[in-house]
Amino acid sequence: MQQAETCLHSLDLVTLFREVLGWAAPSEGRAIATRAFNQPYRAYCIAQRDDARVWEIKLNTPINLSIKLKTRLYQTIHKKHPCPLLIFTDRQRYRSLWHWQSPADCLQSLVFISQQPIAGWRPRLHYLANYSPASGALNLQPQSVGYGEFTQQLQQQITQLSDNINGIDDSHDRRWYTTVLLLRLTIIHLLQRNGFLNNDIWYLHNQLGRSQQRQPNTFFKSVLQPLFIQGFSLPTLERPRSISWAGQVPYLGDVFYTHPLEAKYSRVDIPDAPFEAILVWFESPLWQQVSNSWQANTVSLAFEQLITDQSPKNTKEAGDALGGCCELLLNQFMLRQLGIEPTAAAPDFWSILFCGHPEHLRQLVQTILPQFSVLDPACGTGTFLVALQQRMVDIYSVLIGQLTHHSDSQLDIWVKGLRTEHPSLLQTIYRRIFRYGLYGVDINPAVVDITRLQLLLSLVAIAQQPQDIEPLPNLDFNIVTGDSLIGFIRVDEAGFDRLRASETLLQGNLLQPLAAESYRTILSAKNIALEHYRSQSYLLEELRQDIPHYAQLEFFREQINRLDEMAQIKLNELLLAEFSQTLGIQFRAAQLTAAPQRRLLRIEDIRILRPFHWGYHFSHVLEQSGGFNVILSRLPQGVFRPTTQEFFQRFYDLANRKNINVNTFKTAKQSLLNADTEIANAWLSYQSQYSLMTDYFYRSPQYDHQSPLLKGKRQRTQLRRHWLFIERCFNLLAPQGICGLVVSNDIKDSPRGVALRSLLENQTNSDLIGLPGLLPSSDQCLVWFCKT
């Protein structure tokens, strides 16, 4: 595709489409002249493939292309030649704006500037080269393909691999490790396909064959584990001789360090058969189609359906709406930060980038992007974060391209800083996005691991040289595990400092010396270590020659983990005080027949809830910006209450051991609970946890708008998960921030939601509260708002 990239850089569009990408010259209707808003425009058809046509519109001056103008021109051409691709270019031919209608009927734009990094456009060039109108309308943004078939194939591979893992008895942990291992293999396969593994595009296959010749069923122990721990995780010069058989493989940093499950289950082993099946699957046509940055959301959507048991219909619809959701929120936020009211008569954000006014560029690189933060508080497998990441790569790339054509000393400093930060400009772009931009939380550690690896897959898929990925950024402190609904958004520092961490908890613990430190001391030490860890710089400069890079990474990681553990202990004690003293909550232990027994809360009751303390873990965002700039999520749905289905998911091994299925438990629950003490204790414990959380949600001022007021008193109606998240997101959003949440339609008109709707109407920009029809489903919608 080298010739295609050359043509794109010079914006030689006729040569690009006709001679390189294989499109034909137009057979008829080569030009359309029209007027829009009292200005003449002329569109030239430069290429066609069957019914699909590409039109170039040359602009004498780089005008601000308003949404109305682009829509008018698109509709004029669309009436004669349906679903066109419009490309606006300027007289100097160094900038272009590509405009089309996505399959979800949303008009979208994208900018390409001569001399910008082209990595994000390589998948688009491949797509245009292989495009067939029979596959649907042109779409230059990532899209899911073969979702249903791929999900079935993924299910087969997960089941086969999980069933063959020895040494992990817990079914949840076994399935968790299965997904980690499968995504690790995916990353390695992409490295192999790019020729980064000893210049061997069949590297894994050949290593499997050699291990079987030496001794069958040793591939995991003799090849994969050494590659994870000693190959990819150590720089070349630091690797032991015992790994010399691996040849030249890239140093990926600590992404493949010993996983907590590998530390917990040191005797895990896996025979060769599932790996043989996976490597065959990796060469299948469908896998080849989806295993790139262009189709990343297909992989994450499939994992989300399988791991979280989401409805296939709702998962697919949410995936189809990804593009529209991301475009809507980014456009709204960026325009407002630039001081432009987002109306149809105004240019959208891509038009602003196309025009490239120096003042707007300065605002973006000096103020907006360094403070830009995106959060998914229920990130699942990272579908929304991956989509936003891909758009941020496009934005950074366009800015770099624009700044190469501007002579501005302030802007030059930013570009030079990017180019000197890392030998690979592509790596620098991703590091900037990760360091400043993307955050996610989920209570399920398995999906958190999937999200981290999914975000890295996008970088690996478009890497062109090993230095693009050496080492891979680490996302352990951006994408984290915990309950988003429980924990402090802002920490009471004085209360924290008054606490003396329990001597029982810390006796003989390495954390004991930290117990007397103030909150601000612990937080400052953590943030310093985190900054060095993320920037991969060297804190101990004078010992640089004696401490290898990987060892310094490990030093900083361990320091951060120690500080986090200490802070979590004291913050949980502070939360215990809020539950019991401020809110007056007692633990209500469920009973089989009698009323719940009340007792005072204990620290174990809080710890088991896995609270996530936002104000500590993401202190830089909440203290500096007052919250997150953009929040986008597909929220957990349904009534907040214990269910048989969820109980069986949590206690799968117990139910399996007792030979009880969901239907049996539903129809004969009382007799089973009376007959089996172990089942009864698990069920009662499960119910008691829900009672504790329900009491908190009803009493906490963080959730004042979950139920209506009647004669001045809050009514205890059924809580709904997505309503809880909506109010949580409102409290996490920065002033002037934008929030978009995929939820069920009951938020529109349910009488129980009047208090929550009132919150949004009174404390957000009422013009921005809407439920756009981006989703075809009748029971899902996107609710979005701007916090005033």
Condensed to tens digits (0 to 9), the pLDDT of residues 353-391 reads: 999 999 999 999 999 999 999 999 999 999 999 999 999
Residue 332: predicted pLDDT:
92
> With the C-alpha atoms ordered 589, 591, 596, 598, is the resulting torsion angle positive or negative?
negative
Query: Is 107 contained in some domain?
Result: yes
Global pTM exceeds 0.75: yes
Pair (708, 747) in one structural domain:
no
Pairwise CA distance, residues 389 & 436, whole Å: 12
Pairwise CA distance, residues 607 & 76, whole Å: 61
Residues of the chain with pLDDT > 70: what percent?
Answer: 92
H, E, C per residue of 208-274: HHHHHHHCCCCHHHHHHHHHHHHHCCCCHHHCCHHHHHHCCCCCCCCCCCCCHHHHHCCCCECCCHH
Read off the pLDDT of each residue in 155-182 and give the average, rounded to a whole number: 96
**pLDDT value at 542 more than 70:** no
Query: Would you state the structure tokens that stand for residue 683, as one six-digit string?
Result: 């069920």
Domain that holds residue 373: 320-464+720-788
Query: Is 16 contained in some domain?
Result: yes
Which of 743, 501, 740 lies closest to 637, judged by CA? 743
Burial class for 583, CB neighbours closer than 10 Å (0-12, 13-18, 19+):
middle
Amino acid at 549: H
Mean pLDDT of all residues belonging to the chain: 89
Amino acid at 240: P
Residue 747: predicted pLDDT:
81
Tell which phi-psi region holds residue 482, choosing left (phi > 0), alpha (psi between -120 and 50) or beta.
Answer: left
Q: Looking at the 3D structure of the chain, how many domains does it have?
A: 5
Pair (18, 129) in one structural domain:
yes
* Final residue in a domain of this structure, among 665, 684, 718: 718
Query: Is 115 contained in some domain?
Result: yes
Pair (218, 267) in one structural domain:
yes
Pairwise CA distance, residues 111 & 402, whole Å: 10
Structure confidence at residue 767 as a pLDDT band (50, 70, 90): very low
Read off the pLDDT of each residue in 286-292 and give the average, rounded to a whole number: 83
**pLDDT value at 771 more than 70:** no
Pair (18, 117) in one structural domain:
yes
pLDDT 10s digits, 688-706: 999 999 999 999 999 999 9
Pair (16, 118) in one structural domain:
yes
Pairwise CA distance, residues 424 & 464, whole Å: 10
Amino acid at 779: D
Pair (730, 707) in one structural domain:
no
Instruction: Label residues 293-327 b or e (16+ Cβ within 10 Å = b).
Output: bbbbbbbbbbbbbbbbebeeebbbbbbbbbbbbbb
Query: Would you state the structure tokens that stand for residue 681, as one six-digit string?
Result: 């204790």
Pairwise CA distance, residues 669 & 39, whole Å: 74
Pair (135, 165) in one structural domain:
no
pLDDT 10s digits, 377-426: 999 999 999 999 999 999 999 999 999 998 888 888 898 888 888 888 88
Pair (132, 152) in one structural domain:
no
Query: Would you state the structure tokens that stand for residue 60, as one six-digit string?
Result: 């004498």
Pair (518, 550) in one structural domain:
yes
Pairwise CA distance, residues 525 & 564, whole Å: 10
Read off the pLDDT of each residue in 548-567 and give the average, rounded to a whole number: 89
Query: Is 337 contained in some domain?
Result: yes
Pair (342, 446) in one structural domain:
yes
Specify the higher pLDDT residue, 765 or 133.
133
